[in-house]
Amino acid sequence: MREIVLDTETTGFDPETGDRIVEIGAVELWNHIATGNTYHQYINPERMMPAEAFGVHGIGPDILEPPQQPEPGQVTLRDKPVFAKVGQAFRDFVADSHLVIHNASFDMKFLNAELRWMGLPEIPFDRAIDTLGMARRKFPGSPATLDALCRRFGIDNSNRVLHGALLDAEILAEVYLELIGGKQPDFGLSTVTTGDGPGQETAWRAMPRPTPLPARITEAERTAHAEFVEKLGENAVWKRA
């Protein structure tokens, strides 16, 4: 089962009033295990960056009003592609996978607005898995921000000084695995296939034994156990099972 853990950064809160996506980060999971396959893209929003949004993610000092000289490590956006140039590649990456998103309604409305403006198919909302809703149901009344969940699960988010889409997606992947029951629920025995043609590599997967192993209990032990259960009477748990 393929899932994409995803996060976006934007210029604001509502695409219908002119806000746009400026960064997308996504991490691929296969049977709940990170494959190392990621998608990351900065995007020119074709508009100025509000100071409030810049204060959250620190992206785009060159499109602030007035523009600022970028400091070391800051990402500028004037030279980045517009969404119309990268939308198809993003759509191809997510394909038909479920999308794991913290506060899915926010990111989905932006992604679908951008895809709609390009004339590409929108992503059905029922393909979104909202970890914010999952956390609120699992821990009612407790803080459910990504930082709060990292503290609860002991996940290192010390690099998260500002919001960043790919870093947040990587952290969210760890949070998601904790929310569904812990890391690597299948003990790392899942198959991960790379490539799509001749020569593709497939990792080893544990398969059922063609012939079950013989029982290690002896006939004498079976008899002794049956005699023991008989002495316990009709209410013995073995007789009710």
Question: Is 65 annotated as belonging to a binding site?
Answer: no
C-alpha 131/C-alpha 27 separation (Å) is 15
pLDDT band at residue 238 under the 50/70/90 scheme: low
Domain boundaries, the chain: 2-186
SS in 3 state form for the chain? CEEEEEEEEECCCCHHHCCCEEEEEEEEEECCEEEEEEEEEECCCCCCCCHHHHHHHCECHHHCCCCCCCCCCCECCCCCCCHHHHHHHHHHHHCCCEEEECCHHHHHHHHHHHHHHHCCCCCCHHHEEEHHHHHHHHCCCCCCCHHHHHHHHCCCCCCCCCCCHHHHHHHHHHHHHHHCCCCCCCCCCCCCEECCCCCCEECCCCCCCCCCCCCCCCHHHHHHHHHHHHHCCCCCHHHHC
Reported as a single tens digit per residue, the pLDDT across 221-233 is: 788 878 887 877 7
pLDDT digits (tens, 9 = 90+) for 76-94: 999 999 999 999 999 999 9
pLDDT tens digits for 21-70? Answer: 999 999 999 999 999 999 999 999 999 999 999 999 999 999 998 999 99
Our answer to whether residue 98 is catalytic in this structure is: no
| Residues 72/224, Cβ–Cβ less than 8 Å | no
Top-confidence residue, 9 or 197: 9
Which two structure tokens, joined as six digits, stand for 167?
């870093």
Of 32, 40, 102, 163, the active-site residue reads: 163
Query: Looking at domain 2-186, what is its CATH homologous superfamily?
Result: Ribonuclease H-like superfamily/Ribonuclease H (3.30.420.10)
The average confidence (pLDDT) of the chain is: 87
Q: Which residue has the higher pLDDT, 73 or 13?
A: 13
Determine the Cα–Cα distance for residues 29 and 171; give it in Å rounded to an integer: 13
Answer with the residue of higher pLDDT: 212 or 98: 98
Q: Which amino acid is at 100?
A: V
Which of 160, 204, 164 shows the shortest CA–CA distance to 24?
164
Task: Judge whether 3 is annotated as a binding position.
Answer: no
Which one, of 114, 155, 161, lies nearest residue 131 by Cα?
155
Is there a binding annotation on residue 9? yes
Higher pLDDT, 3 or 199: 3
- Determine which of 62-71, 84-93, 130-139, 177-186 has the lowest per-residue pLDDT on average: 177-186
Q: In the numeric block, which tokens belong to residue 73?
A: 């490590």
pTM for this predicted structure = 0.75
Lowest mean pLDDT among 107-116, 156-165, 173-182: 156-165
Query: Is 186 labeled as ligand-binding?
Result: no
126 belongs to an annotated ligand binding site:
no
